[in-house]
Amino acid sequence: MSLTLKAEEREQAARGDGAGMAMRIVAEAARLLGAPKLIDIQSAHIDGAVYHGEAGVIFAEKLVSGGAKVAVAATLNVGALDLTGCSRQRLEGRDRLMAKRMMQAYLKLGCQPSWTCAPYQAGHRPAMGTDVAWGESNAVVFCNSVLGARTNRYGDLLDIACAITGKAPDCGLHRLENRIARFVLDLSGLPERFLKAEMAWPVLGSLYGRLAGNSVGVIDGFLQKPDEDQLKAFGAAAASTGAVGLFHMAGITPEAPTVEAACGGKTPDTVITVTSQMVREAQQLLSTAEQPDRIDAVAIGSPHLSGAEFARLEALLGGRQLAAPLYACTGRHVLTELEKTGLRSRLERLGVIIVVDTCIVVTPILPALDGGVLMTNSGKFAHYAPANTGYGVVYGTLSDCVQSAVSGKPCLDETLF
């Protein structure tokens, strides 16, 4: 370890046992990553408060009892419980208690009770070019790609350690030379009908992640400028299938006014021309349930739904009563708005279950059901639901999801190609 790191370790250890522990973790990460020094960070987003087992609680409480406090503004990702009481989690007894202790420990460390995986839509928007330490794969991708702030993909023990020390290893996406695109994904061969469809964003995100692995690429050839929710859907899907921390979209994202600029003026290593066949395969991979004749539940909101997405949901529902429950996951920043406008009660009357502070793949919310079938429009839910909920997945658009929830049967718009 370098002398600077040793000196920083001593300095932090003087702040107390918790700060010392955090600094040892940051320093060890720097060593693993080959970072020569640490840099100051402006903010953090902490993905550590979901309960996965006792060790996570012991870890967080050890930081608390060591007197640790975050040194920078730190928002919290989802926890395992909906503290607003909008939805009910099937965590009982000791598990429920531990999940609550976990969330409380992170609040005691000084983190903000934002409890959302879309902190960038809840007012946490670091300026372009600033260094931050964010966890949660979709938040990391959005922060780097859409906001142009600089973060690596922080694991959920390292993010809190960075927030407590106010430092991060100087490497990876904090360094400009590593933010340059090495490959180009060319969409010009895809049919216009697909490129203008809502599903293009999560499906192409999912394909991008699988092709990119952990490298940075630039996508060229979108026919329209996406809104923030579409960028959010693309990034979350990409970060599920690959170790993606940053993508560029030519003419769309801030570090990619052009393909050439995104590539830093260098010739890219590869240009991949996306074919309709590749897109169809990527779309098929999102579904795991084979020709189901019913839908047991619908889940949307990974990443957490924005107010605009709730408005679209209401419009698509058109006042119809649901045959299958529709779980709509969001943060409390949106809940306040839903309550003000009365949208919450209007949606709940139709059978929508609003899930706040958490989501259906991090904690048991869906009824335990053998061979259950879940429909979703989220590339991220599609990726994680089979393992984390036991449900098979049918993937469709938001409009497909609403139609299916109303009828209780899978309704898919097959006319995209």
Partner 1 sequence: MTVQTANVLIEGKPGAGEGLVLTAPISFWGGVDPRTGEIIDVRHPECGANIAGKVLFIPATVGSSTASTILLELVHGRKAPAALVLHEADAILLLGLVAARELGLQSPPALALDRALHSQFDRMQTMAGPNGKLQVVGDALSGQ
Q: Which is nearer to partner 1, 91 or 252 (CB)?
A: 91
- DSSP E strand boundaries for 30-174: 38-40, 43-46, 73-76, 133-134, 167-169
- Least Å distance between CB 209 and partner 1? 8
Q: Which is nearer to partner 1, 171 or 231 (CB)?
A: 171
φ, ψ at 352 (rounded to 5°): -80, 135
Q: Which residue in 148, 226, 242, 303 binds partner 1 (CB under 8 A)? A: 242
- By CB under 8 A, is residue 283 in contact with partner 1? no
Contacts of 18 (CB under 8 A, 6+ apart): 62, 63, 64, 65, 66, 67, 68, 69, 164
- What are 149's two structure tokens? 């702030």
DSSP characters over 389-412: H--EEEE--HHHHHHHHHHSS---
- What are 221's two structure tokens? 């050839």
Q: Which is nearer to partner 1, 245 or 396 (CB)?
A: 245
Tell me whether residue 415 is exposed, middle or buried, using C-beta atoms within 10 angstroms of its C-beta: 0 to 12, 13 to 18, 19 or more.
exposed
- By CB under 8 A, is residue 182 in contact with partner 1? no
For 99-135, b where at least 16 C-beta lie within 10 A, e where not — what string?
A: bbbbbbbbeebebbebbbbbbbbbebebeeebbbbbb
Q: Which residue in 106, 142, 154, 208 binds partner 1 (CB under 8 A)? A: 154
Q: Which residue in 78, 81, 132, 158 binds partner 1 (CB under 8 A)? A: 158
Residue that has been written with the tokens 């949106």 in this structure: 334
- By CB under 8 A, is residue 243 in contact with partner 1? yes
Q: Which is nearer to partner 1, 23 or 343 (CB)?
A: 23
Q: Which is nearer to partner 1, 160 or 252 (CB)?
A: 160
Which of these ranges, 1-9, 129-137, 218-226, 310-318, lies near partner 1 under the rule CB under 8 A? 129-137
- By CB under 8 A, is residue 55 in contact with partner 1? yes
- By CB under 8 A, is residue 67 in contact with partner 1? no
- By CB under 8 A, is residue 232 in contact with partner 1? no
- By CB under 8 A, is residue 288 in contact with partner 1? yes
Q: Are 83 and 103 in contact (CB under 8 A)?
A: yes
- By CB under 8 A, is residue 170 in contact with partner 1? no
- By CB under 8 A, is residue 58 in contact with partner 1? yes
Q: Which residue in 69, 83, 110, 156 binds partner 1 (CB under 8 A)? A: 156
Binding mask 21-50 for partner 1 (x = CB under 8 A): x--xx--xx--xxx------------xx-x
How many chain residues touch partner 1 (CB under 8 A)?
A: 48
- By CB under 8 A, is residue 150 in contact with partner 1? no
- Least Å distance between CB 310 and partner 1? 26
Q: Which residue in 174, 304, 344, 383 binds partner 1 (CB under 8 A)? A: 383
Q: Which is nearer to partner 1, 184 or 239 (CB)?
A: 239
- By CB under 8 A, is residue 56 in contact with partner 1? yes
Q: Are 111 and 70 in contact (CB under 8 A)?
A: yes
Residue that has been written with the tokens 């898919």 in this structure: 412
Give the number of residues written for the chain: 417
**Cα of 251 vs its chain's centroid, Å:** 23
- By CB under 8 A, is residue 241 in contact with partner 1? yes
- By CB under 8 A, is residue 159 in contact with partner 1? yes
Q: Where are the alpha helices (DSSP H) in 67-191?
A: 93-108, 137-142, 158-165
Query: Could you count the other beta carbons within 10 Å of the beta carbon of residue 354?
Result: 23
Q: Which is nearer to partner 1, 122 or 238 (CB)?
A: 238
- By CB under 8 A, is residue 113 in contact with partner 1? no
Using CA of residue 133, residue 136, residue 139, residue 145, what is the dihedral sign? positive
- By CB under 8 A, is residue 52 in contact with partner 1? yes
Q: How many helices (H) and strands (E) does the chain have?
A: 16, 14
Ramachandran category for residue 412: left, alpha or beta (phi over 0 → left; psi -120 to 50 → alpha): beta
Residue that has been written with the tokens 């920083």 in this structure: 8
Amino acid at 380: K
Q: Name the residues that contact partner 1, by CB under 8 A.
A: 21, 24-25, 28-29, 32-34, 47-48, 50, 52-56, 58-59, 62, 135-137, 140, 152-159, 169, 209, 213-214, 239-243, 285, 288, 361, 383-384, 386-388
